[in-house]
Amino acid sequence: MVADLIIRESTSSDLQAVMEVEREAFGSEENAILVRDLLNDPTAEPRLSLLAILGDQPVGHIIFTQAIFDPPISVKGAILGPLAVIPAHQKEGVGGRLIETGLDILRSRGVDWVFVLGHESYYPKFGFTPAQKQGFEPPHPFPEKYTNAWMAMALTPTLIAAYQGLVIPADTFDDPRYWGE
């Protein structure tokens, strides 16, 4: 069934479908509002928003938004999230296809690093490893139990020896509530 999955960049006319996927996947309005705000946030640009469609039904969505670094370094970064798949199609590979497609597009656009705060047993399947061990601090402090959930992945061969710095998200995402429990 996932073989018939179509993944494409979302457009402004997809906003309601994107928000419905977010609502259904997370069971609340919070992530839908976050995604809507990220789609309208100029500090999130360049961004990548992908919609997964099965038949004529939107079943998944992922967004990647710009990340910058303090102190500045000459690489391009992006933050993955949220990733949403409606419950009826979870555990079918939809999320993985969204991630892989997004990473391929970002790589082709010259993005060097992608960051995510997510399930530490899921994202390593795609090549993510703990970000703090690579010198990248999260935008806001969070409980120590989440240390390995803050992950990074190099998309291009970059030479960052002993970098120590902060990853800064888009203004919409730069809120401590998105970086805690």
Residue 16 DSSP label: H
pLDDT for 70 equals 93
Domains defined along the chain, listed by start = 2-178 (3.40.630.30)
Angle at CA 49, nearest 5°, toward 51 and 105?
100
**pLDDT value at residue 41:** 98
Distances in Å between the alpha carbon of 165 and those of 36, 71, 73?
Answer: 29, 6, 9
pLDDT score, position 1? 53
pLDDT along the chain (181 residues), means of 10: 89 97 97 97 98 97 97 91 97 98 97 95 97 92 90 82 84 90 53
Burial class (CB in 10 A: 0-12, 13-18, 19+), 125: exposed
Q: What tokens does 73 get?
A: 């370094």
DSSP class of 50: E
CB 86 within 8 A of CB 21: yes
Name residue 130's amino acid: P
- 142 residue type, one letter: F
| Residue 53 DSSP symbol | E
**What was the pLDDT predicted at 75?**
86
pTM of the model: 0.95
Q: Give the span between the Cα atoms of 15 and 49, in whole angstroms.
A: 10
